[in-house]
Amino acid sequence: MSENLKEIVEEINKNDNVLIVGHILPDGDDVSSLVSMTLGLEKLGKKVTAVIDDEIPEYLLQFPLVKSKIKKFEDVEEIIYKKYDIMVILDCSSPDRIGRFEKYLNAFHVLLVDHHVTNKYFGNLNWVDPTMASTAQMVYRILTALNVEYDKELATMNLLGVATDTGFFKYQNAGVLVFKDATELIKKGANISDISNIILDNIPLEQIYLYKDVISNLKLVLNGQIAYSLLSLDMFSKYNVLPKDSPSFVENLRSIRGVEIAIVFQEYEKGSYHVSLRSKKWADVSKIALNYGGGGHPRAAGFSLETNDIKQTMEEIVDYISKTIGNLSGNLAYQ
Ligand code: 5GP
Ligand code: MN
Ligand code: MN
């Protein structure tokens, strides 16, 4: 067991009232990690609250435990000093990712568990391992070390994050450890087809129409190596889709033959955009995200920006990437 994992486990063992915090723009790995940690620590008799300072996308709310176990900032703010001994932050690379909980960082002993290569080590105790494909696998190690007994429900919620952060076991981060951990969770009762039915085979029709418009906005540059598109508030309102419920479709753009880097600019409030970056084989897009104040992984990263002229901003960013693409190759270290 790594030294940091051991210390995290000791610290959790010692404390009975635990606040677990996830990241804004929550994804499958994050909600899986929060719910699994909550279920696991509750089995040990601890008082646990999981929180995210953002709306959870509708496709993740299809898991009843995500809905019932993850609270909002407003639910805990009043009692935050009284009720909790430690703060455990999961799947967050930088303090801004926890939203308004950032202002409480100094008030708590903070345990940080994360797998982003761009992690800023902002906890008091940090277990950061970029060779892990998902934070959910790190949670699995913590709960196993704490001798938590897995049932079908916990195993399935834990497998959710392994599945989503590896693109259902097909990205380059899907190494031996991913399949070993998935095997163990499946042996404990997790059902991958339940997860894929909820996430993959359950797309609302209006999102398919939205995808059609994303493809209409598609641009390819640098001999088709870079694909990018725009998802604007106008497009969302046309189909009555909320930005927080919509996929970015960036993985669809990456799937185009010849594309190495895919980018989608997604407007979530007027003039405010989230930029999703993906690469296929060799480009380290976390370097691009870092350059613009964001973060992420070599093959999946992102950042936010504000602009009144998105067309021009897109061109500037794509131009920057085209010019620096030669510096983006990097090695992966997944186990
Ligand atoms: P997505 O494109 O799905 O929003 O994000 C892809 C990856 O990049 C995720 O692992 C996510 O944690 C990370 N990421 C996305 N946006 C940001 C950001 O603004 N800041 C940081 N630090 N990481 C981000
Ligand atoms: Mn995440
Ligand atoms: Mn993750």
What backbone phi and psi angles, to 5 degrees, belong to 317? -70, -45
Cα 28 to middle of ligand 2, angstroms? 7
Instruction: Determine the pLDDT at residue 284.
Output: 96
Q: How many Cα atoms sit within 13 Å of 212 on the Cβ side? A: 7
Instruction: Say yes or no to pLDDT of 332 above 90.
Output: no
Tokens representing 92 are 């967050």
Q: CA 109 to CA 19: how far, in whole Å? A: 11
Query: 131 falls in which pLDDT band (50, 70, 90)?
Result: very high
Residue 24 neighbours by CB distance under 10 Å: 18
Query: 9 falls in which pLDDT band (50, 70, 90)?
Result: very high
Question: Residue 116 contacts by C-beta under 8 Å, 6 or more apart in sequence?
Answer: 91, 92, 93, 128, 130, 286, 295, 296, 297
218-265, pLDDT tens digit by residue?
999 999 999 999 999 999 999 999 999 999 999 999 999 999 999 999
Strand pairing report for 272-279 and 70-71: unpaired
Which ligand 1 atom is nearest residue 286's CA?
A: 8
Instruction: Determine the pLDDT at residue 35.
Output: 99
Instruction: Determine the pLDDT at residue 260.
Output: 98
Q: CA 302 to CA 120: how far, in whole Å? A: 15
Cα 327 to Cα 79, 275, 330: the distances in Å are 48, 20, 9
Instruction: Determine the pLDDT at residue 103.
Output: 97
Cα 223 to middle of ligand 2, angstroms? 31
Nearest CA to ligand 1 atom 14: 302
Which ligand 1 atom is nearest residue 118's CA?
A: 22
Which ligand 1 atom is nearest residue 301's CA?
A: 8
276 lines ligand 1 (CB under 6 A): yes
List, in order of start, the domains of the chain with CATH numbers: 3-199 (3.90.1640.10), 205-327 (3.10.310.30)
User: Among residues 252, 250, 296, 244, which one has the least CA distance to residue 115?
Assistant: 296
Q: CA 115 to CA 91: how far, in whole Å? A: 7
Instruction: Determine the pLDDT at residue 123.
Output: 98
Instruction: Say yes or no to pLDDT of 331 above 90.
Output: no
Instruction: Determine the pLDDT at residue 192.
Output: 97
Distance of CA 144 to the CA centre of its chain: 22
Instruction: Say yes or no to pLDDT of 184 above 90.
Output: yes
Instruction: Determine the pLDDT at residue 333.
Output: 74
Instruction: Determine the pLDDT at residue 334.
Output: 78
Tokens representing 130 are 């970029």
300 lines ligand 1 (CB under 6 A): yes
Q: Which residue in the block uniquely carries the two structure tokens 């794509």? A: 318
Instruction: Summarize the confidence of residues 194-198 as an average pLDDT.
Output: 97
Cα 74 to Cα 1, 51, 70, 109: the distances in Å are 37, 10, 12, 21
Instruction: Determine the pLDDT at residue 89.
Output: 98
Cβ–Cβ under 8 Å, residues 120 and 95:
yes
Instruction: Determine the pLDDT at residue 72.
Output: 98
Q: CA 269 to CA 258: how far, in whole Å? A: 32
Instruction: Determine the pLDDT at residue 63.
Output: 98
Instruction: Determine the pLDDT at residue 27.
Output: 97
281-314, pLDDT tens digit by residue?
999 999 999 999 999 999 999 999 999 999 999 9
Instruction: Summarize the confidence of residues 12-25 as an average pLDDT.
Output: 97
304 lines ligand 1 (CB under 6 A): yes
Instruction: Summarize the confidence of residues 200-215 as an average pLDDT.
Output: 97
Instruction: Say yes or no to pLDDT of 15 above 90.
Output: yes
Tokens representing 110 are 């903070």
Instruction: Determine the pLDDT at residue 178.
Output: 98
Q: CA 309 to CA 332: how far, in whole Å? A: 35
Instruction: Determine the pLDDT at residue 330.
Output: 75
ipTM of the complex, rounded to two decimals: 0.96
